[in-house]
Amino acid sequence: MLTPRFFQAVSLALVLCLTSQPGSAQSKPDDKKGPQPAQIDRNGVLTLVRSTILALQHANQTGNYTVLRDLGSPGFQQANTAARLSEVFADLRGRNFDLSGVAVLEPQLSLLPQIETNGLMHMAGSFPSVPLQVNFELLFAPDAGRWKLFGISLNLGQSGPTPPEPSPAVQPMPPKAPAKSQRLPSTKKPPQPTQP
């Protein structure tokens, strides 16, 4: 379990993006109910996840969130100015945490890419790293035949499972006395010498 000491949530309000332009992220109305698996290959997923988090890393390094904003979908751009993004990610930037490791680490998806009923592609997962794990949740909107950032939630947590609490000391049992060895009488007759 992650404790507040190891867990710092940094998120860009997804609700703002979702409600800013009703219907702007929808591709086509879908009669199917519920989320559907997204038709995207592994390389496409890796490209979207890594490029998005690296864009955030570059914005944090430079303090310039214009490119991150410009890479987003129209709904993302309308809901967020570069100054607002700077405010949202001020804590992460202040902690000077380097996110560039996502370029070489393999993400572990906890939510496979799926198309929500509003047409957005949704995915979530983590990059297990040391000393902190990078957890992410991303939304992408279709725009001119490409997926563009619509929402991002990023938090840092403790990497890997925490070790169990040490158990109370167990008193050693006194050693047992060695068992006496008893020789059982043999039931075999000794071999008889043979005469020539």
| CA neighbor of 7 nearest in space, from 138, 155, 152 | 155
Q: Is there a contact between 60 and 52 (Cβ–Cβ < 8 Å)?
A: no
For the stretch 85-142, pLDDT in tens is: 999 999 989 988 889 989 999 999 999 999 999 999 999 999 988 678 999 999 999 9
Q: What is the reported pTM?
A: 0.67
